[in-house]
Amino acid sequence: MESVIRSIFGSTHGTQKVAQGDTSGNICSVSGQVIVQDDATVESIVSISGSIRVGSNCKIGAIKSASGSVKINDSSHIGKIEIASGSLSIAQQCQVESIAVLSGSTKIDKNSQIKESLICSSGTLRLMPNVTVDGNIQTDSGNIIIEENASLGGDITFTEMPKPKLGFFRANYSKPKLIIASGSRLEGNIHLYRKVDVTLPPEISPNKIIRHY
């Protein structure tokens, strides 16, 4: 998130709002809420601390948040979303280029599409029915819950948890879960670099599970 921190220059405090149907360039906020109302177009949003709310049928080139929740309403088109710490909620029928959430939960509602990669390092990732992810899905320590009729074009990877640097510190090695509901399609494989509780529907062969530990 270095690019987020560098964007402090020229940014402002307090709530910033883009009115319904308006067009805006780059929005930078140090602290305070960013609100983009329905049918608006924004080149990019950068927030250091504070929530971001995007209305319906909006077009946003990129969203970067260091700390704070991000909520996207239905039928919006977003470029890259990058969040260091905070939850992400995407409503139905949205299109997003790629997503990277380092710490926080991610929920993507039905009939939405992620065109490239989807990374949710820590926190539960939930895909609602009929979601499409064209790229790879990756997590370090979170649960992945995929509901009915998802279309998954790449791999699903649970990466290896980092070992504690000092012996008297104990890392959280609780076993995460991967649950994929019936009717879902997985083109790639499931790569496990740690132990994971896996629940697959009949349509997905257990042979797609590749254990690297």
Domains of the chain, by residue range, sit at 21-211
Rounded distance between C-alpha atoms, residue 212 and residue 72, angstroms: 36
pLDDT value of position 133: 98
Confidence of residue 169 (pLDDT cuts 50, 70, 90): very low
Per-residue pLDDT, 92: 98
Q: What is the pairing mode between strands 95-103 and 77-85?
A: parallel
pLDDT confidence band for 167 (50 / 70 / 90): low
36 has pLDDT over 50: yes
Would you say residue 5 has pLDDT above 70?
no
Percent of the chain whose pLDDT exceeds 90: 86
pLDDT band at 16 (very low <50, low <70, confident <90, very high): very high
Backbone angles phi, psi at 180, to 5 degrees: -120, 125
- Assess contact for 62 and 5: CB atoms under 8 A: no
**Least confidently predicted of 7-11, 162-166, 195-199:** 7-11
User: Burial letters for 59-70: b for 16+ Cβ neighbours within 10 Å, e otherwise?
Assistant: bbbbbbbbbbbb
Q: Is the pLDDT of residue 91 over 90?
A: yes
pTM for the complete prediction? 0.89
CA distance linking residue 27 with residue 19, whole number of Å: 13
85 vs 65: CA distance, rounded Å:
8
